[in-house]
Amino acid sequence: MYKEIESNKRNSIILMMVFIAVLITIGFGLDYFWGEGSYSIVWLAIIISLFMTSISYFQGDKIALASAGAKKMTKEENTYVHRLVENLCITAGLPMPQIYIIEDPAINAFATGREPKKSSIAITRGAIKKLENEELEGVIAHELSHIKNYDIRFMTVVAVLVGSIVLISDIFIRSQIFGSRRRKNSKGGSLFLIIGVILAILSPIIMEIIKLAISRKREYLADASASLLTRYPQGLASALEKIKNENLKLIKSSKAIAPLFISSPFNKKSKKNFWFSTHPPIENRIAKLKGML
């Protein structure tokens, strides 16, 4: 378990370093094309991205819960779930999150909140009814691990970087189509312009792939952390087996909040390109968990 946790943390950092390296490379490239020397466009894009992302950062939890149709659950409404969450929080050294119920027969759950003190977890009615005690415990431990690992905050930083690249690329392309630019060197300028346009078009796609790769690594990390928390990887593995086999789609599902769920809220049988998937293949997750036994 410790080896798996360390591996996923290390891979996440490596991907972040690649992210930043690409951003800096594009910044130097744009400085060449505009000949400014101040990287003003790069900084402007980052500032705009920070502003836009901060809105979702501070209000994203409320938006996600409302989008999923989640209703706050009191201790009196479901003592069993409340105590399960409470016991895991004590073990993990986490403050008690707000608990929400999603009235949906599918088995799923998600966590949200920018820090442990302001976190929430939402569990579907289907998960409570269909999962055995150890399975539900594994699912809740997975979501609490996202909170403990600050995955929401981590992915917010990634979103800022992606947004910056998209804005920079858009500004560059528009400047070539609708405006004029200065070149430091007219010789070979056309070749560099073509390279610049190709880079501007491909960069957002590349960054999106890296972002999704980071998202998948954080899912593996949460699985491993949950196993360490419960000391029973089989519980989460069994829950994922049930999620894989039931093939139910959440009634209120949105692509915007899909990455938050423990498993894709959409039809499991639909074929998705791995590179553009927010979650690792569920079979791989099950295999890794069983390998910890």
Give the model confidence (pLDDT) of 119-174 as tens digits. Answer: 999 999 999 999 999 999 999 999 999 999 888 877 777 777 777 777 777 777 76
Amino acid residing at 6: E
Burial of 91 (0-12, 13-18, 19+ CB in 10 A): middle
pLDDT tens by residue, 33-78 = 665 555 566 676 667 666 766 766 677 788 889 889 999 999 999 9
- The active-site residue out of 4, 143, 219, 246 is 143
CA distance 112 to 225: 17
Query: Which of the four pLDDT bands, split at 50, 70 and 90, describes residue 186?
Result: very low
Q: Active site includes 143?
A: yes
Q: What is the residue-averaged pLDDT of the chain? A: 81
List pLDDT tens digits, range 207-224. Answer: 788 788 888 988 999 999
Helix (H, G, I), strand (E, B) or coil at 120: strand
Give the pairing of strands 109-112 and 98-102: unpaired
What's at 151, amino acid-wise? D
